[in-house]
């Protein structure tokens, strides 16, 4: 299968790479370039594009290991709202994101499990509203976001819906938690948070919105990981080409060449797995198995490959002022975001069984 990019997608990738080429790139730079609005509806000034184009932006963010709210806002917020939200929900929340006045995120993780199909967080019907209670962990940019997409099991229905909740709503408590990369994350405790029926994403209580949100989350994480692997490989290859030991470039040593080859294999496999999953999701095909494979590769192989890159940099690799530190720490956070290798392997086994 040919995963080459057409003219529009090549232009998106090139623009994202150009904007992110500067070390001082900030979120408003992506907003001004129109990269945040790619998947938004045309009627709201967006480009009406989809998952694959958004994934190209996320890959370039990963390639630079840029500390930006791209995964949270684009994959966890813009994509589900653009694909699943009602016109009223899109109008209320996407316009401010397109102008750079708001961020979005989603609470896809719970204690001991990431992206659960049946969340322990519960939404009880109370007339024409819901009362939402539960605990979410590792919510990226929760305090900074205007809205948080919160999957919850609808009591009495047995399926999950996704509710739009403001971080400052009554009954919401956010507790900052540590990350490897330093990017903000929070534990989100909800105690009978009142949510109107109009804030149920897509007004869909069937469980489809929650399933799609989980797929967007995995696709976004894998796209960022694709860029991380490629960026770390480029950085390490250049280092071993220039760095000399015993009067010879490190790249000429057989052991070093073998280790770089292993990192290359990881990077190319992750690229293919992530691109395949995003393409299937973008085209409306069943992307579940492809996403599970890509997420497992992210959780199992990416941290090991980045560790090799650290090793090949020697002491320079652990200097927090050197870029390698950003790649490794962000990779650790992504592996945790998708649930870790054990959870991803269990998921693959369940699908295969």
Report the CATH number that the domain containing residue 148 is assigned in CATH: 2.40.110.10
30 lies in the same domain as 73: yes
CATH code where residue 38 lies: 1.10.540.10
pLDDT at 184 over 70: yes
Q: pLDDT: is 321 or 236 the higher one?
A: 236
137 lies in the same domain as 189: yes
Q: Please report whether residue 35 resides in a domain.
A: yes
* Phi, psi angles (nearest 5°) of residue 217: -65, -45
d(CA 302, CA 332): 9
307 lies in the same domain as 331: yes
46 lies in the same domain as 122: no
212 lies in the same domain as 325: yes
Domain C-terminal end among 182, 203, 224: 203
Domain C-terminal end among 145, 177, 203: 203
Percent of the chain with pLDDT over 70: 99
Domain C-terminal end among 86, 103, 120: 103
Average pLDDT over residues 156-179: 94
SS3 state of residue 130: strand
298 lies in the same domain as 330: yes
> Which two tokens mark 14?
């090139």
d(CA 110, CA 121): 8
113 lies in the same domain as 56: no
pLDDT of residue 2: 60
Residue 192 banded pLDDT, cuts 50, 70, 90: very high
Average pLDDT over residues 262-276: 96
Average pLDDT over residues 27-42: 97
Q: pLDDT: is 239 or 149 the higher one?
A: 149
Q: Please report whether residue 273 resides in a domain.
A: yes
182 lies in the same domain as 293: no
CATH code where residue 266 lies: 1.20.140.10
SS3 content of the chain, % helix, strand, coil (to 5): 55, 15, 30
325 lies in the same domain as 253: yes
Q: Please report whether residue 1 resides in a domain.
A: no
d(CA 126, CA 62): 43
62 lies in the same domain as 146: no
Helix extents (H) in the chain: 7-20, 27-32, 51-63, 70, 79-84, 87-98, 208-242, 254-282, 288-313, 324-337, 340-352
Q: Please report whether residue 37 resides in a domain.
A: yes
Percent of the chain with pLDDT over 90: 84
pLDDT at 48 over 70: yes
Q: Under a CB-based contact definition with an 8 Å cutoff, are residues 65 and 45 in contact?
A: no
pLDDT of residue 52: 97
> Which two tokens mark 60?
């370039």
Q: Please report whether residue 75 resides in a domain.
A: yes
pLDDT at 173 over 90: yes
135 lies in the same domain as 29: no
Mean pLDDT value across the chain: 94
pLDDT of residue 24: 82
232 lies in the same domain as 341: yes
Domains of the chain: total: 3
Task: Of 65, 55, 61, give the one whose Cα is nearest residue 219.
Answer: 55
d(CA 164, CA 138): 17
Task: Of 294, 295, 302, give the one whose Cα is nearest residue 276.
Answer: 294
pLDDT tens digits for range 292-351: 999 999 999 999 999 999 999 888 877 888 999 999 999 999 999 999 999 999 998 888
Q: Which domain holds residue 285?
A: 208-352
pLDDT of residue 244: 77
Q: Please report whether residue 2 resides in a domain.
A: no
> Which two tokens mark 189?
């405790």
pLDDT of residue 3: 63
Considering the entire predicted model, what is its pTM? 0.95
pLDDT at 86 over 90: yes
pLDDT at 284 over 70: yes
Q: Please report whether residue 303 resides in a domain.
A: yes
């Amino acid at each position: 299968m040919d995963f080459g990019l057409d003219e529009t997608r090549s232009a998106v990738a090139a623009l994202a790479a150009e904007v992110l080429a500067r070390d001082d790139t900030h979120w408003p730079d992506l907003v001004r370039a129109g990269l945040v609005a790619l998947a938004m509806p045309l009627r709201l000034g967006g480009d009406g594009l989809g998952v694959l184009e958004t994934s190209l932006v996320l890959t370039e963010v990963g390639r630079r290991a840029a500390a930006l709210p791209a995964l949270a806002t684009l994959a966890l917020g813009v994509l589900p709202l653009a694909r699943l939200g009602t016109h009223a929900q899109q109008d209320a929340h996407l316009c401010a994101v397109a102008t750079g006045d708001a961020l979005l995120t989603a609470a896809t993780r719970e204690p001991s499990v990431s992206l659960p199909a049946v969340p322990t967080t519960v939404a009880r019907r109370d007339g024409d509203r819901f009362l939402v209670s539960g605990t979410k962990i590792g919510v990226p940019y929760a305090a900074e976001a205007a809205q948080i997409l919160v999957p919850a099991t609808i009591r009495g229905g047995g399926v999950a819906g996704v509710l739009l909740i403001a971080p400052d709503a009554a009954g919401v408590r956010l507790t900052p938690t540590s990350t490897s990369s330093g990017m903000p994350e929070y534990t989100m405790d909800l105690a009978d948070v009142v949510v109107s029926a109009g804030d149920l994403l897509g007004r869909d209580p069937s469980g489809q919105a929650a399933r799609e949100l989980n797929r967007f989350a995995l696709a976004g994480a894998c796209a960022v990981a694709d860029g991380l692997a490629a960026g770390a490989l480029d950085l390490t290859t250049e280092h071993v080409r220039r760095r000399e030991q015993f009067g010879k470039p490190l790249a000429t040593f057989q052991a070093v060449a073998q280790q770089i080859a292993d990192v290359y294999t990881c990077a190319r496999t992750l690229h293919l797995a992530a691109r395949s999953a995003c393409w299937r999701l973008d085209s409306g095909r069943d992307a579940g198995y492809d996403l599970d494979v890509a997420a497992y590769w992210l959780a199992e192989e990416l941290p090991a490959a980045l560790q090799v890159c650290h090793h090949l940099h020697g002491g320079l690799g652990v200097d927090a002022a050197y870029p390698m530190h950003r790649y490794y720490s962000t990779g650790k956070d992504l592996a945790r975001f998708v649930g870790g290798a054990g959870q991803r392997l269990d998921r693959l086994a369940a699908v295969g069984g």
